[in-house]
Amino acid sequence: MSKVAEQAVEEALGRCAVGDRSAFAEIVRAHQSMVYSVALHFLRNPSMAEDLGQEVFLELYRNLSSIKSGVHLRHWLRKVTCHRSIDRVRRGHGGGMVSLDDVPEPATAEQVRDPLMEQKLWRLVSSLPDKARMVLILRYQEEMELREIAEAMEIPINSVKSSMDRALGLLRAKLARSMGGVKV
Partner 1 sequence: MKPLDDELRDLMRHQEPPEGFAERVMARIEAEPRRLTPQQRVSTLFWRPMLRWVAVAAVVSVVAVGGISRYERQKRMQAQAERASQQAMLALRITNAEIYAALERAQHVAMRALEVRRNLKPEME
Interface residue list for partner 1 (CB under 8 A): 17-19, 21, 24-25, 28-29, 32-34, 36-37, 40-41, 46, 49-50, 53-54, 57-58, 61-62, 65, 103-104, 106-108, 111, 113, 117-118, 121-122, 125, 136-137, 140-141, 168, 171-172, 175, 179, 182, 184
Q: Which is nearer to partner 1, 150 or 167 (CB)?
A: 167
Q: Which is nearer to partner 1, 92 or 167 (CB)?
A: 167
Q: Which is nearer to partner 1, 28 or 86 (CB)?
A: 28
Angle between helices 146-153 and 130-140 (to 10 degrees): 130
Sort residue 8 into left (φ over 0), alpha (ψ -120 to 50) or beta.
alpha
CB 90, min distance to partner 1, A? 21
CB 82, min distance to partner 1, A? 14
Are 39 and 53 in contact by the 8 Å Cβ rule? The answer is: yes
**Beta-carbon neighbour count of residue 73 at 10 Å?**
21
Are 97 and 126 in contact by the 8 Å Cβ rule? The answer is: yes
Q: Which is nearer to partner 1, 2 or 92 (CB)?
A: 2
CB 130, min distance to partner 1, A? 16
Torsion of CA 108, 140, 74, 127, to 10 degrees: 110
Phi, psi of 45 (to 5 degrees): -150, 110
CB 19, min distance to partner 1, A? 5
Vertex 73: Cα angle to 72 and 77 (nearest 5): 120
CB 54, min distance to partner 1, A? 5
Q: Which is nearer to partner 1, 37 or 159 (CB)?
A: 37
